[in-house]
Structure 1
Amino acid sequence: MDRALDVFNEIQETDICLWNSVISILAIHGRGKEAQIFFSRLLETSTSPDSVTFLSVLSACRHSGLVEEGRKLFNLMNDFYGFKPTLRGLQCSNVGALLEASARLGNISMGEYAAKHLMEIDPNDSMCYVSLSNLYSREGRWEDAVRIRKLMSICGMEKVSGCSSVKVGSVVNEFSVGRGLNSIDEKEES
């Protein structure tokens, strides 16, 4: 992860896709404060954030328990940049935050309640199934964790890993959740 950030910092010309990739990778890894720092750095450039940027930085706040910071960013998104959240997006975000807080606190009944509502909103979103399975695992409810994972398998769902690529000179750097950094020198390939 740190190598990926080093590569990002070496790039002279960044675009919104690259900023979004870095912020979302930080969010996935629970590094909410760093995601906020990169978001602040983005705002200092001539590149404007888009809806994906806000989704990523709000997700980072949610995953890291940064509720007040997330609220401020939400207001910035809405008031200054004019991005209007959808009702479905708000429901998923709020109930998702409740599920993650339940998992952190070990509150199984609240986690099950949140997961049930997330599954009603979007039954194909693997995130709530994974979070619920992880909650069960943390609490030693192995049979329930396995049941949720089997349900995911039966429904054809899998935990999706994030992946992003950036080319610096002749080197293509691919960042993948779980695998880290992989670099390919195109000069050596030819």
Structure 2
Amino acid sequence: MKTLHRRALLGAGVAIALTGCASPQVQDYAQEAPKLDLRSFFNGSLSAKGMFTDRSGRVVKRFTVRMDARWDGDTGVLDEHFQYSDGSTQRRVWRLRALGQGRFSGTADDVVGDAGGESAGNALRWNYTLALPVDGRVWHVALDDWMFLIDAHTILNRSALSKFGLHLGDVILVITKD
């Protein structure tokens, strides 16, 4: 009887541990307000401030972004101009497509393949692979990119970067409508 009791407790503990490791899904935020309408928020001029932290949480680089966004029906363009704290600059032009039912796809020159996005409530989750230059080489890094609409003018964005399943760091970004 004692062995059966131990096995039941062990099984319950494993189930709880596995549940605790489950990552959030965008549908978890379906009832949250205000509702994020990607085409409405990312339309016109926007600006952002952010930072990249390594896996230990140390700030590696800070940056600002100027964005110009426009939509024509279900097709959008998000033109981003980055200015980094080390003086370097970067431009990324996203070509976006609304697929219906809260789903989106996107491409950019430094994105490997297509980015896939899903929106529900105040949240949007993107998953994609970024070709990231590091010390003269290009690494293909997976991004799990979450955006949360805080109010009509503000989105908080957190992106977790990983390679081979290992967490490399995070990008934290505040996006505001101008």
Shorter-chain TM-score tier: under 0.3
Which structure is higher in strand share? Answer: 2
By relative contact order (CA 8 Å, sep 6+), the higher-ranking structure is 2
- Structure of larger gyration radius: 2
Which structure is higher in helix share? Answer: 1
TM-score normalised by structure 2 residue count = 0.25
TM-score normalised by structure 1 residue count = 0.24
